[in-house]
Amino acid sequence: MTTATNVLVSKKYAKRSNAAEVWHRLKTNKGAIAGFTIICIILAITLYSVFFISYEEVTAINVQNRLQPPSWEHPFGTDDMGRDLFKRTLYGSRYSLLIGLGGVSISLIVGLILGSIAGYFGGLVDDLIMRFSDFLASIPTLLLGMVIVTVLGQSLPNLILAVGVTAIPEFIRITRSSVLVVRNQEFVEAATAIGMSHLGIIFTQVVPNGLSPIIVTVTSRIGAAIIEAASLSFLGFGIPVPHPEWGLLVSEGRNYIRIAPHLTYFPGLFIMVTVFAFNILGDGLRDALDPKLKK
Amino acid sequence: MGSELNGQAAKDNKELVLEVNNLVVHYVLQEETVEAVNGISFSLEKGKTIGLVGETGAGKTTTALAIMNLVPDPPGVIKDGTIKVCGYNMLELSARQLEKIRGKEVSMIFQDPMTSLNPVITVGDQIAESIMLHEKLTYSQAFNRAKEMLEMVGIPGARATEYPHQFSGGMRQRVGIAIALACNPKLLLADEPTTALDVTIQAQVLDMIDELKRELGTALVMITHDLGVVAKICDLVAVMYAGRIVEYGTLEDVFDRTLHPYTEGLFNSLPDIRNRKNQLQPIPGLMPDPTNLPRGCSFAPRCRYVSDACREAQPTKHQVSETHVIYCSAYDDSNFQIERARGRGGNG
Amino acid sequence: MAEVLLRVRNLVKYFKTSRGVVHAVDDISFDIEEGKTLGIVGESGCGKSTTGRCLIRLIEPTSGEIIYRGQDICKLKRSEMKNLRKEMQIIFQDPYASLNPRKTLLQIIAEPLLYNKIISSRDKFAIEKRVLELMEKVGLAERLINTYPHELDGGRRQRIGIARALAMEPKFIVCDEPVSALDVSIQAQILNLLKELQRDLGLTYVFITHDLSVVNHFSDDIAVMYLGQIVEKAPADELFENPLHPYTQALLSAILIPAVGANRERIKLRGEVASPIDPPPVCRFAKRCNYYSQECAHGVPPLLEITPGHFVACHQVKPVAPSATKAN
């Protein structure tokens, strides 16, 4: 063998990894790029608001300025307390992102663990987990969210938890079905043959191969979580006032929808665009991760 | 339309059921073009059987689909060539004319008997359906014919009311054959019809195809990778490699008077059941990438007799006898012999 | 006479289903000598793959003994079994499904080494050296080290599967239809490779296949299975020259020989393979057998040694018909 002792042969033939391959395909998908760009813009807005907009600035009441239409000074106008809606909306992006990402993380982690256990071991464990999941899924999501917030109290962490819990059944089901597909493949048997333990097999063989549908669900679920949080806030079960959460902004604007429609339009538009961006990114990811398009 | 079809049929001379002339089929994908079939020609007389032999990627199935004018488009493009089935130019007919011909003049048996039948329709109805498409029969007449067809392939007629999942693999393949033969086509294409079946069932099904073919006078194109199947059922053999026919002749020509190095390699790769100590001599290397075929002979990179000429230009055609054709530049040298031929010379 | 490496006694594997108990493997016994190949042939559903997987406990047998070098592996705990797995490996049929599509060739072949801590995962050079050695042994070019399975053809994938099986220097390998999914020319390459490896490394194989000409070429001894049972077992030459069980005779007569005029009269069997669910306690082949008699309805025939080394399970013990392979 002509291997030089100080250079890895695998480096010599280095090439694009699977992840890089997916990224490459994602780049050629217009929808995904649009979604990704919008999400980046929203992230930039959030970062900007974190550093340059203070909580006092968006909550201070200034009654003289109340209900002004959009102008150069106040691009989105002002609300019934005279607060600048532009700054409030920008400030509010952090809640939506936190809730979207945090909520989905909770459902993802719980769903991934329960779903892979159910799919891998089957039998009684599978039955128990799936019945639990069915039970959870049978409660209307908003109702479940309201119950959780009511019991635990109104706060941002509780809202995240509520949004997260309601999506758990979906993640259990998706994980379980992709684990079921992978579990019966021969390479899983091959891993048993080299002496690998159940846990090792789940995490090195099964989960990585069942990941594509899960990743896609994550992105589209983020959008749904944002909507759900906004709905809960709109109904008064979200973050307490005066935090400028987008759902809450829409809810507050509702009272003045005839004389100052901009109060509902702008935050509503932000919700829509954000959710839309996550959804088209999810669609693009689905195409990019589809193994049928490989080669 | 009917008269037009008849007009074409009238031009049909002799008893040629199938004529394929210089067929070229490519699959044009976004980034590359798969050169699946690259100019093949052969013809088949009434009642005869030709075996299209070759390994994965040789272009056998694409050829069959082209004969039915069923190449999926896109990405498939028939770039060149003519195909005549019973005198009809398959590549120039309208969709409606093709529907008339498929099933009636030419039909196909597929490899996988599990997926080629509709799972929610009884087998009797599936056969009756294809009969009613082509013949003016009432449903009950067609269904009776379906029962007869089932009997013909060795399934009790009473089982016509059962669904495909109630049949075993071998039985399903028989149903597939019954559907294909329902309208007594003149040409039958069989794409690896026994590959998915067990040894003993395979033998049953092949025997049956052989018998039916004789009884009905159907011409058969048997697509297979199994030289044993060819020896059992075929009159003519076309050995394919990378979308081209490399050797063509009668069964005896190709099996007993083998000339092409690839055909020789295939035989040497097979374990000899009569001599188990016989050392296998595999063909080295791999089938060339069909998106990037070599400039010269496609087999040159794996050929043990390769010369520079083979790598440079397409192989030359050698008509060895009235029936036996090979495409191999090595035979430009009139003294050239493959090893298999040398062995034969010594023994005989 | 070589030492017996693996001794199987009364191996049984039943699967419970909603329609009854599937007798996948029903009381089979055999020995394999070190360095030899036992071929197991049979048609789909005869239990040959289940047997192969039971031998290395990829499937837990329902009952029976599998004695490897004097110890019954069925009685070993999971952790004890883990050590033994280094010696007992498997090569799978489907070179597409048996390799993890998300791992490179390097990762796949290195996996058994790392997981069993034969080489520390920190020692990248040692890992790579061993992987390259294995790749060379099975005929994979060095430049393929970072490729993913889906980028390779069936033959090369099967070579990866073999390299992975060889990584832990096993003594015993179950080959489950290792060439069925491959083209003829590639099939011969892999068969030759497996033979070479056996010669060089002193491997013992169980070679499972439905292809009679391949098993004849490859095996020293052949066991013919029908519906979960061994119906005949003999040295390869003996089995092909002098098949005694009616099923073996029919099976051999169905082989299609790739030569003009070589195909003989086929022994025709009635019907198709019966269901393996709760079979009645009679000869499983009786219903299809051309030599059926009253006797056949009385119990499952035991596997008896008819001549030295030649075992047959048939109530009609005496040879019943002129040998099917006499022609040519």
Query: Which helix or strand (DSSP H or E) is residue B106 part of?
Result: strand B106-109
In the block, residue with structure tokens 């075993």: B168
**Residue, of A286 and B109, whose pLDDT is higher:** B109
**Residue A82: pLDDT band by 50, 70, 90 thresholds?**
confident
Mean pLDDT of B198-206: 83
Q: Which chains form contacts with chain B, at 3 or more CB pairs under 8 Å? A: C
Query: A129 pLDDT exceeds 90?
Result: yes
C272–B168 CB contact, under 8 Å: yes
Instruction: Give the whole-angstrom CA distance, residue B294 versus residue B38.
Output: 13
The reported pLDDT for the residue numbered C317 is: 59
B81-119 burial: b if 16+ Cβ within 10 Å, else e: bebbbbbbebbebeeebbebbbbbbbbbbbbbbeebbee
Query: C319 pLDDT exceeds 70?
Result: no
The reported pLDDT for the residue numbered A229 is: 87
In the block, residue with structure tokens 């008896």: C304
For residue C102, give the amino acid letter.
R
Residues of chain C positioned with their CB less than 8 A from the CB of B168? 272-273
State the DSSP code for B7.
H
**Residue, of B11 and B335, whose pLDDT is higher:** B335
Coil, helix or strand at residue B85:
strand
**Residue C161: pLDDT band by 50, 70, 90 thresholds?**
very high
Mean pLDDT of chain B: 86
- Using a pLDDT cut of 70, give the percent of chain C over it: 95
**Residue B347: pLDDT band by 50, 70, 90 thresholds?**
very low
Instruction: Give the whole-angstrom CA distance, residue C73 versus residue B344.
Output: 53
Mean pLDDT of C23-39: 93
Residues of chain C positioned with their CB less than 8 A from the CB of B171? 272
Query: B50 pLDDT exceeds 60?
Result: yes
Structure tokens at B70: 């069923």
Please give, rounded to a whole number of angstroms, the shortest distance from the CA of C78 to a CA of chain A: 9
Closest CA to B246 of B323, B327, B304: B327
B283–C185 CB contact, under 8 Å: yes
Query: B10 pLDDT exceeds 80?
Result: no
Coil, helix or strand at residue B177:
helix
The reported pLDDT for the residue numbered A16 is: 67
Query: B3 pLDDT exceeds 80?
Result: no
Please name the residue of chain C whose CA is at the shortest distance from the CA of residue A18.
Answer: C102
**Residue C226: pLDDT band by 50, 70, 90 thresholds?**
very high
C183–B287 CB contact, under 8 Å: yes
Residues of chain C positioned with their CB less than 8 A from the CB of B53? none
pLDDT in tens, C250-276: 999 888 888 887 776 788 887 777 788
Query: C16 pLDDT exceeds 90?
Result: no
State the DSSP code for B270.
S
Please count the residue pairs, one from chain A and one from chain C, whose beta carbons lie less than 8 angstroms apart.
94
Instruction: Give the whole-angstrom CA distance, residue C81 versus residue C70.
Output: 14
Query: B304 pLDDT exceeds 80?
Result: yes
Mean pLDDT of chain C: 87
Per the CB < 8 A criterion, the answer to whether A171 and A132 are in contact is no
Sheet holding B187-191, edge to edge: B106-109, B187-191, B219-224, B49-53, B236-241, B244-250, B325-327, B317-319
Residues of chain C positioned with their CB less than 8 A from the CB of A185? 97-98
The reported pLDDT for the residue numbered A257 is: 85
A1–C145 CB contact, under 8 Å: no
The reported pLDDT for the residue numbered A29 is: 83
Long-range contacts of A64-72 (CB under 8 A, 24+ apart): A67/A256, A67/A259, A67/A260, A67/A263, A69/A260, A69/A262, A70/A262
Please give, rounded to a whole number of angstroms, the shortest distance from the CA of C49 to a CA of chain B: 15
Least confident of A195-199, B142-146, C226-230: A195-199
Coil, helix or strand at residue C244:
coil
Query: A20 pLDDT exceeds 90?
Result: no
Please name every residue paired with C51 in a beta bridge, in sequence order, or none if there are none.
Answer: none
**Residue A295: pLDDT band by 50, 70, 90 thresholds?**
very low
**Residue B348: pLDDT band by 50, 70, 90 thresholds?**
very low
Mean pLDDT of B178-193: 88
In the block, residue with structure tokens 């994938």: C157
The reported pLDDT for the residue numbered C124 is: 86
Query: A31 pLDDT exceeds 50?
Result: yes
Instruction: Give the whole-angstrom CA distance, residue B236 versus residue B254.
Output: 9
CA C74 to chain CA mean position, Å: 19
Mean pLDDT of B288-305: 89
The reported pLDDT for the residue numbered A3 is: 45
ipTM of the complex as predicted: 0.82
Nearest to C146 among A14, A200, A208 (CB): A14
Please give, rounded to a whole number of angstroms, the shortest distance from the CA of B227 to a CA of chain C: 5
The reported pLDDT for the residue numbered B261 is: 94
DSSP string, chain A: ----TTS-HHHHT----HHHHHHHHHHT-HHHHHHHHHHHHHHHHHHHHHHH--HHHHH---GGGTTPPP-SSSTT-B-TT--BHHHHHHHHHHHHHHHHHHHHHHHHHHHHHHHHHHHHH-HHHHHHHHHHHHHHHHS-HHHHHHHHHHHH-SSHHHHHHHHHHHHHHHHHHHHHHHHHHHHTSHHHHHHHHTT--HHHHIIIIIHHHTHHHHHHHHHHHHHHHHHHHHHHHHTT-SSPTTS--HHHHHHHHHTTTTT-THHHHHHHHHHHHHHHHHHHHHHHHHHHH-GGG--
Mean pLDDT of A178-187: 86
Instruction: Give the whole-angstrom CA distance, residue A207 versus residue A180.
Output: 10
Least confident of B9-13, B127-131, B142-146: B9-13
Per the CB < 8 A criterion, the answer to whether C47 and C69 are in contact is no
pLDDT in tens, B55-87: 888 888 899 999 998 888 878 889 899 999 988
B276–C237 CB contact, under 8 Å: yes
Instruction: Give the whole-angstrom CA distance, residue C131 versus residue C153.
Output: 20
Look at the alpha carbons of A57, A62, A64, A68 in this order and tell me if their dihedral is positive or negative.
Answer: positive
pLDDT in tens, C54-67: 999 998 999 999 99
The reported pLDDT for the residue numbered C123 is: 86
Euclidean distance between the first and the last CA atom of chain C, given in angstroms as a whole number: 32
Per the CB < 8 A criterion, the answer to whether C66 and C47 are in contact is no
In the block, residue with structure tokens 């081209």: B244
pLDDT in tens, C199-211: 999 999 999 999 9
Least confident of A24-28, B246-250, C82-86: A24-28
Backbone angles phi, psi at C174, to 5 degrees: -90, 120
Instruction: Give the whole-angstrom CA distance, residue A105 versus residue A221.
Output: 10
Residues of chain B positioned with their CB less than 8 A from the CB of C192? 279-280, 282
The reported pLDDT for the residue numbered C318 is: 58
Instruction: Give the whole-angstrom CA distance, residue A117 versus residue B253.
Output: 61
**Model-level pTM?**
0.81
DSSP string, C245-301: SHHHHHHHHTPPPSSTT---PPPPPPS-PPP-BS--SS-TTGGG-TT--GGGGSSPP
CA B244 to chain CA mean position, Å: 13
**Residue B12: pLDDT band by 50, 70, 90 thresholds?**
very low
Mean pLDDT of C235-245: 92
The reported pLDDT for the residue numbered B212 is: 85
Look at the alpha carbons of B28, B34, B38, B43 in this order and tell me if their dihedral is positive or negative.
Answer: negative
The reported pLDDT for the residue numbered B26 is: 92
Instruction: Give the whole-angstrom CA distance, residue C107 versus residue C91.
Output: 17
Backbone angles phi, psi at C278, to 5 degrees: 40, 60
Helix C124-137 / helix C154-166 crossing angle, nearest 10 deg: 120
The reported pLDDT for the residue numbered B96 is: 87
Mean pLDDT of C128-148: 89
Residues of chain C positioned with their CB less than 8 A from the CB of A186? 92-94, 97-98
Instruction: Give the whole-angstrom CA distance, residue A176 versus residue A182.
Output: 10
